[in-house]
Amino acid sequence: MNENKKITVAIAGNPNSGKSTLFNAFTGANQHVGNYPGVTVEKKEGTRKYKGYEITFIDLPGTYSLSSYSEDERVARDFLIKEKPDMAVNVIDASNMERNLYLFTQLSELDVPVIIALNMVDILQAQGKIADEKALSSLLGVPVFSTVGNKEIGVGNILDAVISCASDPQFHGKERAKVDYGDDIKEETDKIETLMFGDKSIVDLSKKWIPVQLLNNDPFAVETVSGFKNKDAILEQAQKSGKHLEEHFSKRADVIIAERRYGFAKSVVKTVIKDASAKKIDVTEIIDRFVLNKYAGIPVFAAVMYAIFKFTFAASEPVVNLFGMFFDKLGSFARSLFPEGSVQSLVVDGIIGGVGGVLGFFPLVLFMFFAIAFFEDSGYMARAAFVMDKVMNKFGLHGKSFLPLMISTNGCAVPGFMATRTLDSKRDRFITMFALSFMICGAKLPIFALFIGAFFPERRGANIMFLMYLLSICIALGASKLLSKTVFKGEPAHFVIELPPYHLPTIKGLLLKMWERGWLYIRKAGTIIMLASVIMWAGFAYPKAAENPDLSEQEYAAVQIETSIFGQLSKFLAPAVKPIGMDGSIAIALVSGLAAKEIVVSTLGTIYSLEIVDSEDAEPLKEKIAADPKWSPLKAMTFLIFCMIYMPCFAAATVFFRETGSNLKWLALMVIGNTAFAWIAAFLVFQIGTLLKIGV
């Protein structure tokens, strides 16, 4: 009877509460990622068929409240109010219950039907404490179930509760515990409520939540009552009430409300959290004594970053070599399959040579994502942000800037720019966006892997990559310092971050996160990069050079490239890049990277596929480059430094433009400034290296 019954469940909770881990446990691989309509906040949605029901889970952005002060808060609140899910699963970190219950107080005031997943109870037990879930359920008036998300303990109980509550009318109408703000605040909210609902202009919201939020100066609450006939009277009363409370308590109304909410949470925790018979060792506290130590913190951070690169290169190398051999064999097979001519050249040189050059490094990217996901899910990355706060402050950056910088390093500058929205200060946001434009994003990783593999011994690959990342960080910090002392003067805002307890991530969770990020890489290779590779092939393949029987195939290929559209363009660009040790064809590859940085590799793949026409000469791209006399270790290093610094791709530049208020001045500073700086840095490296005969 319930075979086609559908249930929509929002998963709400604080950052680092294990919310995403539970979402993965609920949905497995049946999930997809997009954006909420009209905003750039990521939307994760997944489905689970369970006991004849189809349950859709929406993983809301991690947030501490439902106010209007950040994009994540607005998205979570708007979804709960406008989309009206059947219920919300409020994920609460049992080891940090007081902080997490603050969000529940607002869910309750919104009259959202709630089930609580009391997560990470194993960590609470490791601290020598236990939670009385029955007492918590009784106090809050909602179903409560203990869970350990990374071990999928309690997942079945939550799923059963979702089905049971969805078909229970009493669950939706049941009164949930609400904060008692005291007689003084109640008197003022009653005045506002009377004005709002006295004329029966009922809005589809809790009658209690809007008056409280008006005292909180919440823009959403103000916007909500703007459609009322007596809006002026309501807003005037809210202002009077706020002023009255401030005079009475010598504190702003929003501060008093926050204190009462935390007071409610504190009293609940005192009632339901009990000490176990034997005090257990707090592993998190022991590790943090070392990891957060003022002397050991930064060396530990450097060691973690080095371990990530060492693991990435060492573990991925055999697979990368296999992928390279596969695409070379595929190219040879396609060359024998198609008759000689334009179609063969398009498939072999354009598509396989271009896209294969990028996909050959896909395993390396996957291993990098896996390693970073491990440290994210274990709880270390929040500590890294805390440790780096003092360092970043010295360079004019906010401690929270570390997170967008890491997001950019993990994958792409686009979500990195978007993540700066978590910074409250416009100054901090702008400096962070300029800084992350210098980071080695995931799209640049194949370029670095290609040239490091070609010119540096295998045992030194991770060391070189680690040093390049350190260099990118130094450049970003230097640029931030300059901007903070010139264009964006001022002090960074105060830094507050919650440190989750340590726990071992699940292999399933790590693989899901790795694949989720890796899939974006494949999708990009199958669309943007393939299209760009075909365009680059056509630019080098046409117009056709005149036939000359006196030339060998190899010589004719060189003439063809020189005759082509891009060949002619490369002659125009050659003088600009000659002082930094490059020729015109390499300049074309750099220009192609403006569409997407991976296309630099696909363009080089296309160029070398066109130059080497004999199928017997097929070999990995890095070996072709290593054997090319126009390259040297010094030129490779110069090329990498230029790629590291020059302007991001068009997609990233577009998001940067939008996030800086569509201001052409800031876009021009980033585009022109980064590229000019890249040329100067590359010039100095090449000329000094040549003078000292290093790597020539």
Judged against a pLDDT cut of 50, whether residue 618 lies above it is answered with no
The answer to whether residue 291 is domain-embedded is no
Side-chain-facing half-sphere of 569: CA atoms under 13 Å: 16
User: Domain boundary at 123, 153, 173, which?
Assistant: 173
Render the burial of 528-554: b for 16+ CB within 10 Å, e for the rest.
bbbebbbbbbbbbbeeebeeeeeeeee
User: Rounded to an integer, what distance in angstroms lies between the CA atom of residue 609 and that of residue 234?
Assistant: 72
User: E-assigned strands of 68-120?
Assistant: 87-93, 114-119
Judged against a pLDDT cut of 60, whether residue 620 lies above it is answered with yes
Judged against a pLDDT cut of 90, whether residue 639 lies above it is answered with yes
Give the Cβ contact number of residue 188 at 10 Å: 24
Backbone angles phi, psi at 178, to 5 degrees: -125, 155
Query: Which tokens in the block code for residue 8?
Result: 């929509």
Q: Are residues 160 and 188 in the same domain?
A: no
The answer to whether residue 272 is domain-embedded is no
Judged against a pLDDT cut of 80, whether residue 373 lies above it is answered with yes
CB 564 within 8 Å of CB 542:
yes
Give the Cβ contact number of residue 264 at 10 Å: 22
What is the reported pLDDT for 234? Answer: 86
Element (H, E) at 485: helix 461-485
User: Domain boundary at 140, 173, 206, which?
Assistant: 173
Count of structural domains, the chain: 3
Q: Are residues 430 and 377 in the same domain?
A: yes
Q: Are residues 311 and 411 in the same domain?
A: yes
User: Domain boundary at 114, 143, 173, which?
Assistant: 173
610 vs 209 pLDDT, higher one: 209
CATH assignment at residue 74: 3.40.50.300
Which residues lie across from 274 on neighbouring strands? 130
Tell the burial category of 569 from Cβ atoms under 10 Å away from its Cβ (0-12, 13-18, 19+).
middle
The answer to whether residue 501 is domain-embedded is no
The answer to whether residue 263 is domain-embedded is no
What is the reported pLDDT for 3? Answer: 53
Judged against a pLDDT cut of 60, whether residue 38 lies above it is answered with no
User: Rounded to an integer, what distance in angstroms lies between the CA atom of residue 297 and that of residue 134?
Assistant: 41
Average pLDDT, the chain: 82
The residues, ordered by sequence, that sit 6+ positions from 640 with a Cβ below 8 Å of its Cβ are 447, 448, 451, 452, 468
Judged against a pLDDT cut of 70, whether residue 66 lies above it is answered with yes
State which of 135-144, 357-366, 398-407, 584-593 shows the largest mean pLDDT: 135-144
Q: Are residues 101 and 204 in the same domain?
A: no
Judged against a pLDDT cut of 80, whether residue 268 lies above it is answered with yes
The answer to whether residue 275 is domain-embedded is no
Q: Are residues 213 and 310 in the same domain?
A: no
The residues, ordered by sequence, that sit 6+ positions from 272 with a Cβ below 8 Å of its Cβ are 97, 131, 132, 133, 135, 136, 139
Query: Which tokens in the block code for residue 220?
Result: 């959403």
The answer to whether residue 178 is domain-embedded is no
Judged against a pLDDT cut of 70, whether residue 383 lies above it is answered with yes
The residues, ordered by sequence, that sit 6+ positions from 614 with a Cβ below 8 Å of its Cβ are 553, 554
Q: At residue 330, what is the residue type? A: L
What is the reported pLDDT for 611? Answer: 63
Of 6-10, 269-273, 281-285, 379-383, least confident by mean pLDDT is 281-285
Mean pLDDT of 451-476: 85
User: Rounded to an integer, what distance in angstroms lies between the CA atom of residue 575 and that of residue 573?
Assistant: 6
420: DSSP letter: G
The residues, ordered by sequence, that sit 6+ positions from 573 with a Cβ below 8 Å of its Cβ are 584, 587, 588, 591
Q: What is the pLDDT of residues 134-177, one digit of tens each?
A: 999 999 999 999 999 888 899 999 999 999 998 887 787 677 88
User: Rounded to an integer, what distance in angstroms lies between the CA atom of residue 475 and that of residue 677?
Assistant: 10
Mean pLDDT of 233-241: 89
pLDDT band at residue 109 under the 50/70/90 scheme = confident
Q: Are residues 152 and 9 in the same domain?
A: yes
User: Rounded to an integer, what distance in angstroms lies between the CA atom of residue 407 and that of residue 417?
Assistant: 9
Mean pLDDT of 408-426: 73
pLDDT band at residue 644 under the 50/70/90 scheme = very high
User: Rounded to an integer, what distance in angstroms lies between the CA atom of residue 366 and that of residue 409?
Assistant: 13
CB 541 within 8 Å of CB 342:
yes
What is the reported pLDDT for 41? Answer: 59
pLDDT band at residue 617 under the 50/70/90 scheme = very low
What is the reported pLDDT for 453? Answer: 86
Tell me if residue 129 falls in helix, strand or coil: strand
CB 502 within 8 Å of CB 383:
no
Q: What is the pLDDT of residues 202-221, one digit of tens each?
A: 455 566 788 888 888 888 88
Residue appearing with tokens 């005031």:
109
Judged against a pLDDT cut of 80, whether residue 112 lies above it is answered with yes
pTM of the shown model: 0.62
Instruction: Residue 614: give the domain boundaries.
Output: 298-495+512-692
CA distances from 283 to 66, 277, 286, 458 (A): 32, 18, 5, 37
> Per 3-state DSSP, what percentage of the chain is helix, strand, and coil (rounded to 5)?
65, 10, 25
pLDDT band at residue 466 under the 50/70/90 scheme = confident
Q: Are residues 488 and 460 in the same domain?
A: yes
CB 138 within 8 Å of CB 268:
no
CB 72 within 8 Å of CB 83:
no
pLDDT band at residue 668 under the 50/70/90 scheme = very high
Judged against a pLDDT cut of 90, whether residue 679 lies above it is answered with yes
Judged against a pLDDT cut of 50, whether residue 188 lies above it is answered with yes
Q: Are residues 188 and 157 in the same domain?
A: no
Percent over 70 (pLDDT), the chain: 88
Give the Cβ contact number of residue 635 at 10 Å: 24
Q: Are residues 149 and 120 in the same domain?
A: yes
What is the reported pLDDT for 675? Answer: 94
Judged against a pLDDT cut of 80, whether residue 484 lies above it is answered with yes
Percent over 90 (pLDDT), the chain: 20
Q: Are residues 358 and 485 in the same domain?
A: yes
The answer to whether residue 571 is domain-embedded is yes
Q: Are residues 335 and 426 in the same domain?
A: yes
333 vs 618 pLDDT, higher one: 333
Judged against a pLDDT cut of 50, whether residue 1 lies above it is answered with no
Q: Are residues 533 and 432 in the same domain?
A: yes
The answer to whether residue 625 is domain-embedded is yes
* Helical axes 565-577 vs 584-592, angle rounded to 10°: 100
503: DSSP letter: -
Which residues lie across from 148 on neighbouring strands? 153
CB 36 within 8 Å of CB 75:
yes
Side-chain-facing half-sphere of 600: CA atoms under 13 Å: 25
198 vs 418 pLDDT, higher one: 418
Judged against a pLDDT cut of 50, whether residue 306 lies above it is answered with yes
Question: Among candidates 224, 217, 230, which has minimal Cα distance to 81?
Answer: 224
Is it true that the peptide bond before 404 is cis, omega within 30 degrees of 0?
Answer: no
